[in-house]
Amino acid sequence: MEIPQTRGFVIRYVVLAFSWSWLWWISAIVVSEHFGDETLPALFGVLGDIGPFVAVILALVAHRVGARKIAMILRSAIRLPRQKLALLGFSGIVLLIVALAAVVQQGTNEEVSAAPSLWLVVPYLLLMLIIGGGQEEVGWRGVLQPWLVSRLGRWSGSVIAGIAWFAWHLPLFWTPGSVQTHIPILAFAGFAVGFSLLVWKAMEMSSYRPSTAIALHALNNCAGIFCVFYSTQTSSSQPGSWALAAGYLVAGAIALAIPATEELTTENHGSRTESRT
């Protein structure tokens, strides 16, 4: 089963994703500032994080897709691609970019926090797949970016998808406990666009499956927390964040400069999606 790719469905998804997430994140900011509570803002933050995934489901329901078909669409979206080597290769690129950013960050003389225990890597990676950044990609890379690319082309579609994805994150820069409070806004904007470029090339090489983006996003978030962002202070220059953005922009531009074997268009996107389910 394929995710609908009509203009109305995509617009509905974007509106729902922004509305759901921003409502919870702004509520977290208000509760934290005016009531001094920490538990509710944390809960509201998590509810906001799953906004893109919830938005896909709500958009499908509004599109009059039945529960059984919704389950089939979601299973298809999270199923790993057949091209495991491509996924492993791009995972290596993600880890290399994060490692270089970590070297830049740790090369400063600023006071740093204690590194998280390595025993937490696997649990945190699973958390990133289910609740953190991974689940977002069912919407951003399963709905929005394919629609944009099929109409505007690989470069414009990927850049605009990255800008939209960055804009969705904006309240997190003021949300208590969010990693975005440690990242310069422009650095995160560069990361969002660069990651969108790189992940689209990865999807081109793995049957356009959203699961590719899910895995790479979760890997980036997990590695970033353990290697880069644990060592940043809100008042620091955070060079690791800038290095991460530069790494993704360069890698994404180089990767997308490699021509696709077949351009994604409005005509072939549905049949290509259907053939891989």
Q: How far apart are CA 189 and CA 168, in angstroms?
A: 11
- The amino acid sitting at 187 is A
Q: Indicate whether 258 belongs to any domain.
A: yes
Q: Indicate whether 232 belongs to any domain.
A: yes
| Model pTM score | 0.90
Contact (Cβ atoms closer than 8 angstroms) between residue 81 and residue 216 = no
User: Residue 256 in 3-state DSSP?
Assistant: helix
Q: Angle, nearest 10°, between helix axes 154-168 and 7-35?
A: 30
Taking only the tens place, the pLDDT of each residue in 215-243 is: 999 999 999 888 887 655 555 668 899 99
Q: Note the pLDDT of residue 28.
A: 95
Contact (Cβ atoms closer than 8 angstroms) between residue 27 and residue 44 = yes
Q: Note the pLDDT of residue 263.
A: 66
Domain membership of residue 230 as a residue range:
81-275
For residue 268, count other CB atoms closer than 10 A to its CB: 13
Q: Note the pLDDT of residue 268.
A: 55
Q: Note the pLDDT of residue 276.
A: 46
Contact (Cβ atoms closer than 8 angstroms) between residue 134 and residue 218 = yes
What's the total number of domains in the chain?
1
Q: Indicate whether 97 belongs to any domain.
A: yes
Contact (Cβ atoms closer than 8 angstroms) between residue 252 and residue 198 = yes
Q: Note the pLDDT of residue 229.
A: 74
Q: Indicate whether 53 belongs to any domain.
A: no
Q: Indicate whether 4 belongs to any domain.
A: no
Q: Note the pLDDT of residue 18.
A: 98
Q: Which residues of the chain have pLDDT under 70?
A: 1, 108-116, 230-237, 262-277
Q: Indicate whether 26 belongs to any domain.
A: no
Q: Indicate whether 34 belongs to any domain.
A: no
Q: Which residue has the tokens 């990676």?
A: 125
Contact (Cβ atoms closer than 8 angstroms) between residue 16 and residue 59 = yes
Q: Indicate whether 29 belongs to any domain.
A: no
Q: What value does the CA radius of gyration of the chain take, rounded to a whole number of Å?
A: 18
